């Protein structure tokens, strides 16, 4: 990408909430059931039905607002968004328009602040399945069927300011958002199941300009990888258009990861008039009284925890970030340190052995790091002990070391005697080393390591050789 | 067999309590009368026949009290589980709801037995019942005239002795105006007093269910059975006081306000005369009468005809042929073509007119000028009523500016038809309770007298209406039917 242009990205993220029931009816809110088994007259839009607000969804929306540092509205209102499409049985979606439940907020990602415009509550549409065509897409399909199980699932739509300046930054924001939403327990944020969906508004402008270029909207990617690729492709395309003297047109695009190509879904001229008006079947919400209870129930958020790992535990930023991709990993890490492990050593183990969180008790992992720290075992041997722990998670690492005879060799002059023996048996190598061939030292050390099956500390052995023949 | 013409619900209860008649006999008498007389009137779209008889009979075998075993007719806009509910529209012909409306559940809990579904203007859009997808209803007082609307079938049913009680819905006058034109009592409760769950929506912020009856006391009995909070309707609220059956005979200490400037135009002389006579009777009962101002009421009709169609345009969008009701499709149709074909044939002209009006009023660029302004007018009208009630207990006016008009007379002139609602619409916009009782005859046709109270003052207007009803002593029996009954 040339430095002449700067990408400007804003995101619209839809998050399905993990409530027991749907947004406005008592149907179970569950992914993966037989099609059209989780429905009722209400979510099928039968005549005469009236929506009822799911309190749990309101609480979760407020929790999201608090986690994103949003202002929570004192009064909010639902609106009807009118459109004809088979995924919308009422032919309108109940959503929020000019009075969303969460107003302005922000999230800090890798030192830069991303503004949140709003986060609002709405209902998901039914799922259309296009059959007989290619890849389940509507183009070329013979017919389409509707699964109303998803219809009425509670959604929160989060809209960011166009504060993101690269696809990488956008993905970093989304990863932090996902781990935050999972940590506060409002959604499983599984993109494959569609419980986290993201549209990206992309434009480019001349670097340094404060005007926004014409944006295009990239629709609904089902992985961060494809979203990142799609954004990069669209940025490249727009720069090409501008460099060629053309103008970017406002349109909605689809990115096909298989062909790495972008196709237009609709242009601005085809934009809907949704005829929003206040939903007369619902009275406005005044959620203020819930805020303090929900705030008190919020766990420590990933952003704060990351900062704490970095600033209080002295971990490098990358470790702090990586440990906080999943709350259970961060929890496990903290259990390991609480059991006495050095934070850096604990982080090494937890991040390098991603299975540890599910298999090895925190106390055992802490004990293992303790054995390394006190010199009882070498780090090479520690991996072996870890392997034994995986097979026997309840075992005490110290007992395993004792049983398998894995304690380091080093005390009582044992190692010195072995070094002297190797020197005596390899005069040729000693001569080469003394003649300036540094690499030969590794061969000498290697003999010790083989003989001790790794129970010697290689650096200590090196030093012993240097002391004698250096 | 007992004569049901002029039979009140209270009298039914007396007869049932005394064992002079069984629930089954009572139901059979009404069904028989409908069978005999409704061919000409077309008040009913369907009766429940054997099912109603069986349900009535259960009260005979299991014992009964109160309203148990008393028949009631339901406007066909109220969902009844497994029983056809069309809202007067061809687009819902054959539609079998999967659930009972909130009011149906309540009236069944009280033991009232539905005897059938009554005719109405399609989706409650109209003031004459001529807009029914299934043919018009005729006025029992004069077969050449309309019964009013949109709940014309329910009003005609009570006037013709087909049911002692019925339910209608009132969005801009759809209970009070047909009650007036058919010479019966009809009441629109405060918005939120009665559940809208299972009422097929026309204009959600205005629709309310309410009863028709021959007397104010019967009306109170029916209202008591259906009113109250329903958790299935977020806009319903608990009543501050239970609905009481009124017993007041005088009006001493009651102040009645009359919005004279609103009555200056369009009210027929015969209607005006009947109204003035009723007001003199009220004064005779001890009421004090003075003029009140509702300065924004003249804007009510245009505001109503923006708000109601706007809401209707969204409420009726669900009738698309995909999941229920009529579906018209030809080979090669796209889904949009199927929608178009279904809706073009399934909806009548008035419904289409209002969908177009409402769609336009909500359109980008017009919203503020139309829907937005109408909502501001609505707020002003609500304030007008608040100020007026600071100086009076109830507000009185004629219900309809005219008596029943001839079938076809206004069918081609929507604005003349809309003008029928000029005195009832402000009450819906303000969400207030209103009742219409007969005040007498003009040109041999019933005249309606409307009383409006502050929100949740149902008991107050029922008391005033009951006292006045006694003084007026109207005979609610249509003359033609009286002779037929003899």
Q: What is the pLDDT of residue A408?
A: 77
Angle, helix B9-17 to helix B216-226, in steps of 10 degrees: 80
**What is the distance in angstroms between the Cα of B235 and the nearest Cα belonging to chain A?**
6
Q: What is the pLDDT of residue A450?
A: 87
Burial of B392 (0-12, 13-18, 19+ CB in 10 A): buried
For residues B153-182, average pLDDT: 98
For residues B170-197, average pLDDT: 98
The span from the CA of A376 to the CA of A398, in Å, is 9
Q: What is the pLDDT of residues A344-375, one digit of tens each?
A: 999 999 999 998 999 999 999 999 999 988 88
The span from the CA of B447 to the CA of B181, in Å, is 6
> The tokens 């940590």 sit on which residue?
A183
Lowest mean pLDDT among A317-326, A398-407, B177-186, B203-212: A398-407
Question: How many CB atoms neighbour CB A442 within 10 A?
Answer: 11
Residues 6 or more apart whose Cβ sits within 8 Å of residue B229: B195, B236, B237, B238, B239
Q: What tokens does A219 get?
A: 């629709």
pTM: 0.91
Whether the per-residue pLDDT at B485 is higher than 80: the answer is no
Q: What tokens does B108 get?
A: 């069944």
Domain boundaries, chain A: 5-292, 300-404, 414-469
Domain A414-469 sits in CATH at 1.10.10
Q: What is the pLDDT of residue A381?
A: 85
For residues B35-48, average pLDDT: 97
Q: What is the pLDDT of residue A467?
A: 87
DSSP B44-77: EEEE-HHHHHHHHHHHHHH---TTTT-EEEEETT
Domains of chain B, earliest start first:
9-245+460-485 (3.90.1300.10)
Radius of gyration of chain B (CA): 21
Give B92's contacts in chain A (Cβ within 8 Å).
47
C-alpha B47: how far from chain center: 19
Assess A399–B contact: CB distance below 8 Å, yes or no: no
Q: Strand pairing partners for B397?
A: B450
> Quick one: residue A108, left, alpha or beta (phi over 0 = left, psi -120 to 50 = alpha)?
beta
The DSSP output letter for B450 is E
Q: What is the pLDDT of residues B340-384, one digit of tens each?
A: 999 999 999 999 999 999 999 999 889 999 999 999 999 999 999
State chain B's mean pLDDT as an integer.
Answer: 96
Give B234's contacts in chain A (Cβ within 8 Å).
50-53, 281-283
For residues B41-51, average pLDDT: 98
What phi and psi values does residue B251 have, to the nearest 5 degrees? -125, 25
> pLDDT band at residue B462, thresholds of 50, 70 and 90?
very high
Of B89, B127, B132, B150, catalytic:
B150
The span from the CA of A242 to the CA of A248, in Å, is 7
Angle, helix A167-183 to helix A302-311, in steps of 10 degrees: 100
Chain B: residue whose CA lies nearest to A44: B323
Q: What is the pLDDT of residue A134?
A: 60
> pLDDT band at residue B411, thresholds of 50, 70 and 90?
confident
Active-site residue flag, B174: yes
> The tokens 């549409």 sit on which residue?
A125
User: Which positions 80-109 of A are in contact with B (Cβ < 8 Å)?
Assistant: 80, 82, 84, 86, 89-92
Q: What is the pLDDT of residue B414?
A: 84
For residues B450-473, average pLDDT: 98
C-alpha B239: how far from chain center: 20
Give A276's contacts in chain B (Cβ within 8 Å).
362, 367
Whether the per-residue pLDDT at B119 is higher than 70: the answer is yes
**What is the distance in angstroms between the Cα of B317 and the nearest Cα belonging to chain A?**
6
User: Which of A41, A53, A89 shows the shortest C-beta gap to B234?
Assistant: A53
DSSP B156-220: HHHHTTS-SEEEEEESSSTTHHHHHHHTSEEEEPPTTSB--TTBPPSSTTT-EEEEEESSHHHHH
Question: How many CB atoms neighbour CB A79 within 10 A?
Answer: 23
Closest CA to B286 of B471, B429, B140: B471
> Which parts of chain A have pLDDT scores under 50?
none
Closest CA to A381 of A320, A435, A449: A449
Q: Are residues B189 and B435 in contact, defined by beta-carbon separation less than 8 angstroms?
A: no
Burial of B416 (0-12, 13-18, 19+ CB in 10 A): middle
For residues B375-400, average pLDDT: 98
* Total residue length of chain A: 470
Q: What tokens does B179 get?
A: 């009650």
Whether the per-residue pLDDT at B388 is higher than 60: the answer is yes
ipTM of the complex: 0.95
Residue A305 three-state SS: helix
Say yes or no for a CB contact (<8 Å) between B234 and A273.
Answer: no
User: Which of B87, B336, B363 shows the shortest C-beta gap to A47?
Assistant: B87
Q: How far is the CA of A118 from the CAs of A73, A155, A294, in angstroms?
A: 10, 13, 19
The DSSP output letter for A90 is T
Q: Are residues B397 and B373 in contact, defined by beta-carbon separation less than 8 angstroms?
A: no
The span from the CA of A196 to the CA of A174, in Å, is 10
Q: Are residues A27 and A139 in contact, defined by beta-carbon separation less than 8 angstroms?
A: no
Q: What is the pLDDT of residue A417?
A: 85
Of B280 and B335, the one with more pLDDT: B280
């Amino acid at each position: 990408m040339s430095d002449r242009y700067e990408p400007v990205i804003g995101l619209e993220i839809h998050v399905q909430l993990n409530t027991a029931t749907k947004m406005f009816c008592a149907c179970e809110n569950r992914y993966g059931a037989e099609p059209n088994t989780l429905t009722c007259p209400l979510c099928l839009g039968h005549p005469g039905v009236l929506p009822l607000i799911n309190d749990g969804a309101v609480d979760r929306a407020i929790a999201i607002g608090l986690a994103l540092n949003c202002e929570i509205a004192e009064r909010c209102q639902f609106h009807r968004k009118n459109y004809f499409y088979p995924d919308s049985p009422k032919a309108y979606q109940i959503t929020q328009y000019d009075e969303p439940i969460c107003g302005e907020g922000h999230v800090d990602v890798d030192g830069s602040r991303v503004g949140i415009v709003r986060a609002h509550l709405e209902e998901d549409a039914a799922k259309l399945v296009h059959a007989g065509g290619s890849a389940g897409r509507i183009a070329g399909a013979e017919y389409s069927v509707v699964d109303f199980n998803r219809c009425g699932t509670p959604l929160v739509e989060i809209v960011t300011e166009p504060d993101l300046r690269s696809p990488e930054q956008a993905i970093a924001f989304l990863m932090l958002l996902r781990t935050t939403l999972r940590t506060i327990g409002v959604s499983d944020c599984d993109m494959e199941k569609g419980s986290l969906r993201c549209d990206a508004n992309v434009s480019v402008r001349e670097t340094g300009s404060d005007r926004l270029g014409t944006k295009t909207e990239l629709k609904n990617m089902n992985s961060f990888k494809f979203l990142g690729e799609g954004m990069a492709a669209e940025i490249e395309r727009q720069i090409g258009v501008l460099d060629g003297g053309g103008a970017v047109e406002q349109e909605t695009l689809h990115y096909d990861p298989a062909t790495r190509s972008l196709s237009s879904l609709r242009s601005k001229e085809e934009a809907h008039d949704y005829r929003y008006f206040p939903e007369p079947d619902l009275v406005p919400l005044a959620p203020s009284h819930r805020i303090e209870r929900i705030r008190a129930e919020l766990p420590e958020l990933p952003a704060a925890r990351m900062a704490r790992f970095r600033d209080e535990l002295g971990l490098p930023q990358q470790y702090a970030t990586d440990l906080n991709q999943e709350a259970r990993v961060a929890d496990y890490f903290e259990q390991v340190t609480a059991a006495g492990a050095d934070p850096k050593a604990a982080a090494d183990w937890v991040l390098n052995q991603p299975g540890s969180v599910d298999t090895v008790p925190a106390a055992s992992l802490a004990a293992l790091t303790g054995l390394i720290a006190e010199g009882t075992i070498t780090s090479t041997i520690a991996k072996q002990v870890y392997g034994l722990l995986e097979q026997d998670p309840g075992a005490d690492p110290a007992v395993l070391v004792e049983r398998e005879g894995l304690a380091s060799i080093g005390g009582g002059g044992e190692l010195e005697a072995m070094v002297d023996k190797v020197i005596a048996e390899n005069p040729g190598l000693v001569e080469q080393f003394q003649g300036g061939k540094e690499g030969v030292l590794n061969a000498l050390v290697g003999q010790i390591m083989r003989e001790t099956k790794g129970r010697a500390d290689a650096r200590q052995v090196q030093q012993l050789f240097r002391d004698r023949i250096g | 067999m007992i004569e049901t013409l002029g039979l009140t619900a209270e009298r039914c209860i007396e007869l049932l309590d005394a064992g002079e008649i069984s629930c089954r006999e009572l139901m059979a008498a009404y069904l028989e009368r409908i069978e005999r007389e409704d061919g000409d009137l077309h008040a009913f779209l369907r009766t429940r026949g054997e099912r109603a008889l069986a349900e009535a009979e259960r009260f005979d075998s299991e014992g009964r009290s109160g309203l148990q075993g008393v028949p009631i007719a339901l406007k066909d806009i109220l969902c009844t589980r497994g029983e056809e509910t069309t809202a007067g529209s061809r687009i819902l012909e054959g539609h079998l709801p999967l659930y009972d409306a909130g009011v149906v559940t309540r009236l069944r809990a009280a033991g009232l037995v539905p005897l059938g579904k009554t005719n109405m203007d399609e989706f409650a859009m109209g003031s004459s019942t001529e807009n029914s997808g299934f043919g018009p209803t005729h006025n029992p007082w004069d077969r050449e005239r309309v019964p009013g609307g949109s709940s014309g079938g329910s009003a005609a049913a009570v006037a013709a002795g087909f049911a002692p009680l019925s339910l209608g819905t009132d969005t801009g006058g759809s209970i009070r105006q047909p009650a007036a034109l058919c010479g019966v009592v009809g009441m629109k409760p405060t918005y939120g007093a009665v559940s809208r769950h299972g009422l097929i929506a026309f204009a959600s912020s205005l629709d309310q269910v309410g009863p028709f009856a021959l007397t104010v006391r019967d009306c109170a009995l029916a209202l008591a059975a259906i009113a109250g909070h329903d958790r299935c309707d977020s806009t319903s609220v608990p009543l501050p006081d239970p609905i009481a059956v009124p017993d007041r005979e005088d009006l001493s200490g009651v102040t009645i306000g009359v919005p004279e400037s609103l009555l200056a135009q369009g009210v027929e002389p015969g209607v005006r005369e009947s109204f003035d006579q009723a007001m003199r009777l009220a004064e005779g009962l001890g009421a004090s009468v003075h003029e009140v101002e509702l300065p924004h009421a003249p804007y009510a009709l245009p505001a109503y005809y923006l708000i109601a169609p706007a809401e209707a345009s969204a409420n009726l969008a669900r009738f698309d042929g995909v999941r229920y009701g009529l579906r018209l499709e030809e080979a090669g149709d796209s889904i949009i073509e199927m929608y178009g074909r279904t809706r073009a044939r399934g909806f009548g002209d008035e419904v289409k007119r209002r969908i177009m009006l409402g769609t336009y009023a909500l359109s980008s660029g017009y919203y503020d000028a139309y829907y937005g302004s109408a909502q501001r007018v609505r707020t002003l009208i609500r304030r007008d009523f608040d100020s007026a009630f600071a100086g009076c207990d109830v507000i009185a006016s004629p219900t309809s500016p005219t008596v029943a008009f001839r079938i076809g007379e206004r069918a081609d002139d929507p604005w003349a038809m809309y003008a029928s609602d000029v005195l009832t619409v402000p009450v819906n916009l303000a969400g207030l309770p209103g009742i219409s009782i007969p005040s007498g005859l003009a040109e041999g046709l019933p005249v309606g007298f409307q009383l409006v109270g502050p929100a949740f003052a149902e008991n107050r207007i029922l008391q005033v209406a009951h006292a006045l009803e006694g003084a007026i002593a109207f005979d609610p029996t249509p003359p033609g039917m009286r002779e037929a009954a003899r």
